[in-house]
């Protein structure tokens, strides 16, 4: 059997975490190739539906990365993200999925290494969880 290779989606805000990801690239920080970034302007614009849609279709893990609290380019956007994602995780749990498939974290534009660390950790966590049980399930 081949090793489980998760497919992971990451929402990165334009100003901090996407820039942090860029910095990781500029510094050639190596990390597992499982994560696919969708750029949004602010982490607060990530609808819970996006996360549910991804997970329900078999994406193995979803990351939501924003600016650190207090550093949001849009003043207080990430405060909403900070409240919203725990609810998203709770709903996942309620429907019988492991809430570790969703992770919220803060990566600043200066934190290329933090981006690398979050990606590496999350990929390993999701690998440990195994494939999303909803993989291949037709909704």
Partner 1 sequence: MTRIGVFICHCGHNIASTVNVEEVVEYAKTLPGVAYAGHNLYSCSEEGLGSIKRSIKENDLDRVVVAACTPRTHEPLFRRACEQAGINKYLFEFVNIREHCSWIHAKEPKEATEKAKKLVAMGVAKAALLKPQTEGESAVLPAAVVIGGGLSGLAATSSLVEQDIETHLVEITDRLGGLLCDVTTVGPEGKDARALIEEMVRRIEASPKAHIHMKARVSEVKGFIGNFEVTINDCDGPVKVPAGAIIVATGTRELVPTGEYGFGRYPQVITQLDLEKRLAKGERPNRVVFINCVGSRQPGREYCSRVCCNVTLKNALKLAKASPDSRIHVIHRDIMSSGIAAEKLYKETSDSGVKFLRYGLESPPEVIGDGDGVKVLVFDETLDETIHLEADLVVLAVPMVPPDDSETTAKLLKVPRDKFGFFLEAHVKLRPVEFATDGVFICGSARWPVSARECIWQGMAAAAKASIPIKEGKVVIQAITAEVDPDKCAACGNCVLACPYEAIEIVEQDGRRAAKVNEAQCKGCGTCVAACHNDAISQKGFTSNQLTAMIDALVKSALEASR
Instruction: Note the residues at the interface with partner 1 (CB under 8 A).
Output: 7, 9, 14, 18-19, 21-22, 24-26, 28-33, 36-42, 44-50, 53-54, 57-59, 73-77, 80, 84, 116, 136
Quote the least distance from Cβ 28 to partner 1, whole Å.
5
H or E stretch at 39: strand 35-40
Distance CA 139, CA 91 (A): 18
Tell me whether residue 58 or residue 98 sits nearer to partner 1 (CB atom): 58
Residue 75: CB minimum distance to partner 1, A: 4
Q: How far is the CB of 131 from partner 1 (least distance, A)?
A: 10
In the numeric block, the tokens 């979803």 are attached to 62
Residue among 38 and 128 whose Cβ is closer to partner 1: 38
Please say which residue, 40 or 92, places its beta carbon nearer to partner 1: 40
For residue 45, the Cα-to-chain-centroid distance in whole angstroms is 14
Q: How many C-beta atoms surround the C-beta of residue 53 within 10 A?
A: 14
Nearer to partner 1, 75 or 94 (CB): 75
């Amino acid at each position: 059997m081949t090793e489980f290779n998760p497919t992971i989606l990451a929402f990165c805000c334009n100003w901090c975490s996407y820039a942090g990801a860029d910095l990781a690239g500029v510094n050639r920080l190596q990390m597992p190739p499982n994560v696919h970034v969708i750029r949004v302007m602010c982490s607060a614009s990530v609808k819970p539906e996006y996360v549910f849609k991804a997970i329900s279709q078999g994406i193995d893990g979803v990351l939501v990365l924003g600016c650190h609290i207090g550093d949001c380019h849009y003043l207080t956007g990430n405060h909403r993200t900070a409240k919203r994602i725990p609810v998203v995780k709770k709903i996942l749990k309620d429907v019988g999925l492991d809430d570790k498939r969703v992770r919220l974290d803060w990566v600043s534009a200066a934190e290329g290494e933090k981006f690398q660390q979050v990606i590496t950790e999350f990929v390993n966590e999701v690998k440990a969880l195994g494939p999303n049980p909803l993989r291949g399930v037709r909704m």
